[in-house]
Amino acid sequence: MRQDTLKKLAREHGTPLFVVDHDVLRRNYAEFKKHLPRVQAYYAVKANPDPAIVRTLYRMGASFDVASMPEFLIVHKNIEHLPHTERQDWIWDKIIYANPIKATETLEQLDQYKPLVTYDNLEEVRKVRRHAPHAGLALRLKVPNTGAMVELSSKFGAPPGEAVDLIEAAFRAGLVVEGISFHVGSQCTNFENYVQALNLASNVFKEAWSRGFEQVKILDIGGGFPAPYDANVKPFRELARRLNSEFNRLFPKKMEILAEPGRFMVATAATLVAKVIGKKVADGKPSYYINDGVYHTFSGIIFDHCQYHLKAFKQGPKQICSVFGPTCDALDTISLAEELPDLRLGDLVYSENIGAYSHASSTYFNGFPPAKVIHVNQ
């Protein structure tokens, strides 16, 4: 986003300011569909659950991946409030509840919608049978997460050797297993994870079909599609090329394939603008305090293992400095080695590509509210 636009918005609305550009959202969705034409995109709402983002992606043709009942209701309420002409194609089998472990109260609420839900253990089969018998199931496999920024397989996923037995157990319980899912880890820059996971999934499908479970025909390749945070991230088209090759080699053309992109869709679509509220020299280098931090938009530093860099609107020689958030906690450290020009109180800074797993985790710690959200190009 242009610097003059960001400064204008900051003058008008104050700081900290979280600016979401819907043109970028649409562009990211279009890129995903262009390079993966066989795959239906189920936007991972947890990446950024802002209702306006949900509406824009729905209008582009997205489905949705939710992992809690509040996320489910965000999608439900916002689609229901659209004009009838915009929601006439909405069908509830285009949503997936992709949290393998669900509270019984959640299952009871979900049952009326006949959703597709994931599972990875026998106890979950029993829970679904008792509390959401109208749900369809997708078995989540444990797959390699090597090289992903956020590893997930230590928490979720059934070992491939147990997969078909769990599929059979669900059918014996009177449920229907519609597909197989996996997740290679968030911000996965190791494309071999996908190749290995697809081969594991292919073998599970073949064994399931050989046992007579032909109903299992959905492949959910999860998320992990990396956002271009820096030049070390390979272009999405390279990953898509490998995925398409494996799809064609391993799976029949009639296979329904879906994915759960979150970060890829929204990371580059938002910019944070903050203001310098304090300045001192410590340990021989400048230290700046800004009015946003890790308890707010920069929460991804803690929860997402992601480092966001700051840029200044003013020009000048850059120097190594520290940047801290506004709260009284020393944990509220944005960077100890940022490169910025000499800044004064009241100067503005900004951080790009901060749309995913950031504002979504903001708190009111110390009484500081989250950044104000502004949407442009809706």
Look at the chain and count its residues.
378
**Which of 301, 298, 277 shows the shortest CA–CA distance to 351?**
298
Dist CA 183 CA 171 (whole Å): 23
Residue 283 near residue 314, CB atoms below 8 Å: no
Alpha carbon 198 to its chain's center: 20
Q: Where are the beta strands (DSSP E) in the chain?
A: 17-21, 39-44, 63-66, 95-97, 116-119, 136-140, 148-150, 176-181, 186-188, 218-220, 256-259, 270-282, 285-290, 311-312, 318-324, 333-341, 348-351, 372-376
Both structure tokens of 109: 């609420």
* Catalytic entry in 188, 306, 321, 328: 328
Alpha carbon 113 to its chain's center: 23
Indicate if the alpha-carbon torsion angle 134, 172, 256, 121 is positive or negative.
positive
How buried is residue 239: exposed, middle or buried, by Cβ count under 10 Å (0-12/13-18/19+)? buried
φ, ψ dihedrals at 369, nearest 5°: -80, 160
Query: DSSP string of 249-286?
Result: HHS-TT-EEEE--SHHHHGGGEEEEEEEEEEEEETTEE
Residue owning tokens 């049978």:
129
**Which of 116, 202, 107, 126 shows the shortest CA–CA distance to 169?**
126
Active site residue 328: yes
**Which of 226, 218, 219 shows the shortest CA–CA distance to 185?**
226
Query: DSSP string of 194-226?
Result: HHHHHHHHHHHHHHHHHTT-TT--EEE----PP
Which alpha helices (DSSP H) does 290-370 contain, by range?
300-303
Decide: helix, strand or coil at residue 306. coil
Q: Which amino acid is at 139?
A: L
Catalytic residues: 328
